[in-house]
Amino acid sequence: MASKPQKMPKVAKVKDKSPAELQITAEQLLREAKERELEIVPPPPRQKISDPEELQEYRLKKRRAFEDNIRKNRGNISNWIKYAKWEEEQQEIRRARSVYERALDVDHRNITLWLKYAEMEMRMRQVNHARNVWDKAVTILPRANQFWYKYTYMEEMLKNTAGCRQVFERWMEWEPDEQAWLTYIKFELRYKELDRARAIYERFVYVHPEPKYWIKYAHFEENHGYIQSARRVYERAIQFFGDDHLDESLFIAFSKFEEGQKEHDRARVIYRYALDHMPKEKCLTLYNEYTRHEKKYGDKSSIDDVITSKRKFQYEEAVKANPHDYDTWFDYVRMLEADGNVDLIRETYERAIACVPPLKEKRHWRRYIYLWIYYALFEELTTKDIERARQVYQMCLRLIPHKIFTFAEIWLLYGKFEIRQKDLAAARKAMGQAIGMCPKHKLFRGYIDLEIKLREFDRCRKLYEKWAEFDPENCKMWIQFATLEAMLNDADRARGIYELSIAQPRLDMPEYMWKSYIDFEVEQEEWDRVRSLYERLLERTHHVKVWISFAKCEHSMTTEDNIVHARGVFQRANRALRLCQEKEQRLMLLEAWRDFEDEFGDAENEDKVKKLMPRKVTRRRQVTTDDGSQTRWEEYIDYIFPDDEAAKPSLLLLAKAKEWAKKQKEHTENLEEITPEAENPCFEETAEINPDLDRDDSDVEIGSSSESSSEHDEEEEMIKNGRKEKKRRKPSFESSDNDKIASKKKESKKSSYSTSTDEEIEKTKMREDNRKSHIFREERRSRTKKENSRSSESSSDSSSESNDNEK
């Protein structure tokens, strides 16, 4: 026996064989294990067998080894297969067959063992033995399809068609899976046996009743040109499954078959039959195919029908998922109304209104109530069924819980419906019932408008009286009531209504009520009544808009001195608003007065108003939180009026004066150097206020923007006059000191407000300052400590007197 060359064992190759420094890696462990595994002593060389006795001895030794392995593990089929395969290599077929038989006695359900046994017989061209093996295999294991496939393949390769067919028939008796049937059919088709293939299909579709196999059967008939037979197969399939187990794939295939045969009407009928008999959720693809077919071969009406049916299916699914989605119901019935199927529309409306909101809250009923309205309008306008429309309205009114909430629109629509039917008594009864059960402003307004259109003004008056009893605080009701009387030319009655309305203790919008009353009297040109109304209104409020409206009304009166009266109203308003905390109102009044004088007044009055205009300043204050603590500062805009400044000296002026005195003290101490602070202006708008002077005032002014420089001149004149008066009144021993201080202030004021840049003036000022400061220092040293304290007290008195002079 020829021996194969012995291969040398391979040594494992590892890239990094160096061990790790701290620990042994997994790679090293695997490498060492592999090296130990491969470091095996190579087997001894094969010996050559040269004579039959040596061969027999080798075979005997080998068989003994196989038998020992089998005895050790009888259930290991691989040992049996190796033993039989070795016997086959030694051309000992009988021994190999005996080994296989012995192995089958051990495990007769092992498929691999049967396949190896039969394949050995076929390799050795032992056909009958192979048949016997296959027969035994398929008898013992009939559900193992591999045996049947191998068996039929062998018979077909041997050109034994009858025997192969007989094997297939035996196989089909066990009703195998669909692939076995299709294999049998393909076998018959290879030999052009169409009738036999058709018969197999007939058996196949009943053994495996699934739509796809019926479709395969129909395709088989169609492919071989049997159109009528294919159509009958589809029809039989539809009858076989019935209405309970229909499948959309079957109808789609049937419709496409008819479409391929140019039978578009048949295809359309099939699609419609399927859509009518199948559940909507199972025919989504069918809808798409139907739409595609109609777009290709249908007309406009058929396409619309397809789209409608598809949308109908979608709406049905939506309302089934959420029956309280009233917007979907609206769209659904609107689509059905476009089709015109009255019974279907009515049925859908009934289904929709049956979905009553589960909670008795108005927000849940707002959309639902429109279903009733649309239903009633459909019955009235489309079907012309008046009695059914009346029943819809009445059922809706009975359903609404009026004690909890109501819908005025339903009552009004029902009343208008009865009027359209010329039943005025029923309409008034319905509206009266509505006002009695659930009075609302909209119901009163709608009922009154209805009676006004009918020219029933006495009824309107009664309804307004009822409305006034129901809600006496409603200004709109009083205004509409008075407007009705004015429209009927009953001025006294309208005036009485106005008087009754303003006499109410509470009104929701009293300003509109007074304005309407005043406008009414203006239209009547009762100017005395207009003035009286304004005076009565000003007794209640001093709002700036009331004053401006009063002044404009005085100007609009057709009298000679209307401008004088209007100016007088503005003057009264200005005096009244001086005590107002909101300075913006006074500013608004002055601006309106200024515009009035610009348009209708003269220059003198215009100048007077401009002198009353305030100065806008920016102030700073601390923000008080809810817990009373003051946290941060914020800026705000304030207005300073000239008359307020004359009545109350500005604390800012006192702060500037004290700051100037402090700077002057520093100047006297440093006589030889003139600080830049002495030359800078002392009176600045942004100067910081000493907190000792204004401890009670929460507002701190941080800057101001003057409208003109005339105010600075006025302050300078006030300071000069104050100094002169003080000089005349003060004793002689204090006059020199005060004169020096006054001259210092005067020079400082002049330097702060002067805009000249001439060098001679600057030098003169410096010499004068030096001389006066020297005199002041010498006198100050000569005074005692007591006189110094007394002079400081007198200086404070003099500053208060100067403030009095400024006042």
pLDDT digits (tens, 9 = 90+) for 398-433: 888 888 888 888 888 888 888 888 888 888 888 888
> What are the tokens at 582?
């909101």
What are the backbone dihedrals phi and psi of residue 361, each rounded to the nearest 5 degrees, phi first?
-125, 140
> What are the tokens at 276?
């009518």
- Is a pLDDT exceeding 60 seen at residue 608? yes
Provide the pLDDT confidence category of residue 119 given band limits of 50, 70 and 90. Answer: very high
Looking at per-residue pLDDT, the higher value among 111 and 786 belongs to 111
pLDDT digits (tens, 9 = 90+) for 176-235: 999 999 999 999 999 999 999 999 999 999 999 899 999 999 999 999 889 999 999 999
Distance from C-alpha of 446 to C-alpha of 428, rounded to nearest angstrom: 12
Q: Residue type at 164?
A: C
Element (DSSP H or E) covering residue 618? strand 615-624
Nearest in space to 252 (alpha carbons), one of 282, 209, 232, 297:
282
Structure letter (DSSP) for residue 688: P
Nearest in space to 650 (alpha carbons), one of 707, 694, 710:
694
- Is a pLDDT exceeding 70 seen at residue 754? no
Provide the pLDDT confidence category of residue 714 given band limits of 50, 70 and 90. Answer: very low
Distance from C-alpha of 102 to C-alpha of 105, rounded to nearest angstrom: 5
Distance from C-alpha of 221 to C-alpha of 214, rounded to nearest angstrom: 11
What is the per-residue pLDDT for 702? 33
622 pairs with which residues across the strands? Answer: 633
What is the per-residue pLDDT for 4? 54
Asked whether the beta carbons of 392 and 377 are under 8 A apart, the reply is no
Identify which of 31-40, 43-52, 603-612 has the greatest average pLDDT.
603-612
Query: Which residue matches tokens 């002392």?
Result: 682
Distance from C-alpha of 329 to C-alpha of 343, rounded to nearest angstrom: 16
Distance from C-alpha of 7 to C-alpha of 488, rounded to nearest angstrom: 128
Asked whether the beta carbons of 749 and 716 are under 8 A apart, the reply is yes
Element (DSSP H or E) covering residue 715? helix 710-729
Looking at per-residue pLDDT, the higher value among 168 and 564 belongs to 168
Asked whether the beta carbons of 234 and 218 are under 8 A apart, the reply is yes
Render 654-707 in DSSP notation, one character per residue: HHHHHHHHHHHHHHHHS-SS--HHHHS-S--TTPPPPTTT-SS---EEEEE--S
pLDDT digits (tens, 9 = 90+) for 526-581: 887 888 888 888 887 778 888 888 887 877 777 777 788 888 888 888 887 877 77
Provide the pLDDT confidence category of residue 34 given band limits of 50, 70 and 90. Answer: confident
Provide the pLDDT confidence category of residue 167 given band limits of 50, 70 and 90. Answer: very high
What is the per-residue pLDDT for 190? 92
Rg (CA), the chain: 58
Measured on CA atoms in the order 456, 462, 465, 469, is the torsion positive or negative?
negative
- Is a pLDDT exceeding 60 seen at residue 6? no
* Exposed e or buried b per residue across 666-683, where buried means at least 16 C-beta atoms within 10 angstroms of its C-beta: ebeeeeeeeeeebeeebb
